[in-house]
Structure 1
Amino acid sequence: MKMILRGMAALVALLMMVTSGFSAEKVVNLYIWSEYIPDEVLADFTRETGIKVNISTYDSNEAMYAKVKLVGKGYDLVVPSSDFVGLMRREGLLLPVETKKIPNFKLIDPRFANQSFDPNNRHSVPYMWGSTALAVNTALLSKDMVQKATDLWKPELKGKLLLPNDLREVMGIGLKVLGYSINETNPEHLRLAFEKLQALMPQVRVFDSDSPKQALLSGEVAVGLIYNGEAYVANSENEAIKYIYPPEGFSLWLDSFCIPKGAAHVEEAHAFIDYVLRPEVSATISEAMGYSSPNTKAVALLPEAMKKNNIVNPAPEMVAKGEFLDSLDEKTLKIYEQYWVKLKTK
């Protein structure tokens, strides 16, 4: 009799999973940037839903893209930046996102929805946005040493510079100092940016997109082209580290949740996205990570000091000087990649 009851209980549990839409194994495999979501958020989600979150991390869009394209399965959610959302969408590497299963999608600021890289958000849901600009340790450098992007080429900065391990961001700074778009496609302009960047390489001590704040905080480098969240944390620990928006312009980025084509736990992925978009959860993430939230109600929940901090929430007139990274066609992207390899192997 006990065996029959146990069998019936197992059947009922299985039926409940099927009717709820969840797979028999309640899990979501998340592939995300390093240091990009608090452990407490993952733990709270599991406690509430019973869905376990397995997390793997990467330090560049290129690494994530290559692995998803090569392996094809094993991940239920990835978090590419805007340019790679467009690339992966065009290449058929992403499943459609059903926003009707994500009630909190309505909280996304219209500024970050329906972007050119993913019209109508058919394949992506915004997670975080921010800028990539200059973090300067003013305790190691005079105040006037670095005021703009072109200052990075000063001979005094030899061996004192950190750049992100990101071809678009590095090529972007070369393009911006020459007055071109960060989404430039003209081969001649790309060549000129590459040549300009060749002269910058002696300045570079390290390429790091994983945790660049550490090199700044330790004094290993004096200036870095880094993400605003990293700069926010570094500035919180050392007020001498200042964040400067270069007058030549700078990149803005939007990272989004996407469901790769080989995902095995699609319903769980939708449930996780909706949970993260709860205002209180999005606010917790933004406060912990130091990045800007595209969630309108989450921003309202942030501490006043953070709302007014121009590293996290720059004024609209400052944002207007930035340029969002957009996806590139395959031919242009190959040119970027060729120059990137040459820059890093010199």
Structure 2
Amino acid sequence: MRNDHLLVKLDKKKLPNLKYIGKEYLNESFDPHNAYSVPYFWGTLGIIYNDKYYRASDVDTWAKLWNPRFKNQIMFIDGAREFIGIGLSSLGYSLNSTNDKQVEQAYEKLKSLTPNAKAIVSDEIKMYMVNEESNLAVTYSGEAVDMLSKNKHLHYVIPEEGTNLWFDNIVIPKGAKNLKGAYAFINFMLRPENAAQNAEYVGYSTPDEGALKLLPKSVTGDKQFYPSKQQLAKMEVYKNLGPKWLERYNDLFLELKMYRN
């Protein structure tokens, strides 16, 4: 949207409550200096498992997903960047790699992971995991929150190699007819008491440091959804790789979805 000139450049003077957003959640590659966007929620890509069948130590790295015991058992989120990213991360490469050799290595390695795939889907993961028709999946933390609330045997793990760090952001589209109201709304949502109530209700992680002080320790102390700074340091935001590389990732992902050995 920014590249297509669809957004209003933010007047920071009208956003005094931006001061509550933690520095580690600002100035990301998709919007340097937060010229156009304000972080609203954030989260990660990780592994969800059922403790009736597995332990955290069985799935605490991406590399362990290749274990033959998981044959035809893992549900994967339907996304090229996510699936190719598993291969890249397991090899120690960046999620944003545009190195032909690295991407090809990831593709070749992922071929040997496909026998462990039960399905590559989207929203269906939630139903399958909650109903225990599947007991292992790769999905986003925001989806995991909902699943864990509906089945006490489910747990979420952030792989040790690192993972994707995602953000939900608030922006003002060009053509907005009530700019004053837009700024008032953003400030309202950034007020710690409102951000805390919102985070508790939705279940996603908040970047609002003022809200973190108001949330119960049972929420902010949950390392599944509020990982340590050491873990955050290993995470990457997806960069816009451009049409050439986006097509490459998509093509390889399509081949992997159809591949069987």
Q: TM-score normalised to the size of structure 1? A: 0.67
**Match for residue 301 of structure 1?**
214
TM-aligned CA deviation for residue 266 of structure 1:
4.7
Out of 243, 247, 267, the position equivalent to 2:156 is: 243
- The answer to whether the 8 A contact 1:232-1:290 is kept is yes
Secondary structure of the 1:133 match is strand
State whether structure 2 residue 246 is matched by structure 1 residue 325.
no
Q: For 1:159 and 1:268, how far apart are their aligned partners in 2?
A: 51
Q: For 1:110 and 1:148, how far apart are their aligned partners in 2?
A: 28
Name the CA shift for 1:318/1:144 in 2 (closer, same or farther; >3 Å): closer
Alignment of 1:268-307 (within 5 A): 268-307=181-220
- The answer to whether the 8 A contact 2:50-2:153 is kept is yes
Out of 97, 100, 109, the position equivalent to 2:10 is: 97
Q: For 1:265 and 1:137, how far apart are their aligned partners in 2?
A: 47
Q: Deviations over 1:104-139 (max 9, x none)?
A: 222211221222321221111111112111111121
State whether structure 2 residue 86 is matched by structure 1 residue 178.
no
One-letter code of the match for 2:20?
A: L
CA RMSD of superposed structures (Å): 2.4
Q: For 1:97 and 1:168, how far apart are their aligned partners in 2?
A: 29
Name the CA shift for 1:258/1:159 in 2 (closer, same or farther; >3 Å): farther
Task: Give 5+ residue unaligned stretches, structure 1.
Answer: 1-87
Alignment of 1:118-133 (within 5 A): 118-133=31-46
Secondary structure of the 1:96 match is coil
Secondary structure of the 2:152 match is coil
- The answer to whether the 8 A contact 1:137-1:240 is kept is yes
How much identity, in percent, do the aligned residues show? 37
One-letter code of the match for 1:280?
A: E
- The answer to whether the 8 A contact 1:135-1:225 is kept is yes
Q: For 2:100 and 2:227, how far apart are their aligned partners in 1?
A: 33
Secondary structure of the 1:250 match is coil
One-letter code of the match for 1:336?
A: Y
- The answer to whether the 8 A contact 1:232-1:311 is kept is no
Secondary structure of the 2:253 match is helix
One-letter code of the match for 1:316?
A: K
**Match for residue 18 of structure 1?**
none
Name the CA shift for 1:140/1:102 in 2 (closer, same or farther; >3 Å): same
Secondary structure of the 2:48 match is strand
Q: Deviations over 1:222-268 (max 9, x none)?
A: 11112223323333443322222222222222221223446555554
Secondary structure of the 1:323 match is coil
One-letter code of the match for 1:253?
A: W
TM-aligned CA deviation for residue 287 of structure 1:
1.5
- The answer to whether the 8 A contact 1:215-1:221 is kept is yes
Task: Give 5+ residue unaligned stretches, structure 2.
Answer: none
- The answer to whether the 8 A contact 1:228-1:290 is kept is no
Q: For 1:176 and 1:114, how far apart are their aligned partners in 2?
A: 23
Secondary structure of the 1:115 match is coil
Q: For 2:125 and 2:188, how far apart are their aligned partners in 1?
A: 29
Q: Deviations over 1:304-330 (max 9, x none)?
A: 211211112112222223333333233
One-letter code of the match for 1:234?
A: M
Out of 258, 262, 272, the position equivalent to 2:171 is: 258
Name the CA shift for 1:163/1:299 in 2 (closer, same or farther; >3 Å): same
Name the CA shift for 1:208/1:259 in 2 (closer, same or farther; >3 Å): farther
**Match for residue 115 of structure 1?**
28
Q: For 2:215 and 2:203, how far apart are their aligned partners in 1?
A: 11
Q: For 2:176 and 2:241, how far apart are their aligned partners in 1?
A: 25
One-letter code of the match for 2:30?
A: F
How many corresponding residue pairs? 259
Instruction: Single out whichever of 123-132 and 309-318 deviates more from structure 2.
Output: 309-318
Q: TM-score normalised to the size of structure 2? A: 0.87
One-letter code of the match for 1:246?
A: P
Please say which structure displays the higher CA radius of gyration.
1
One-letter code of the match for 2:24?
A: R
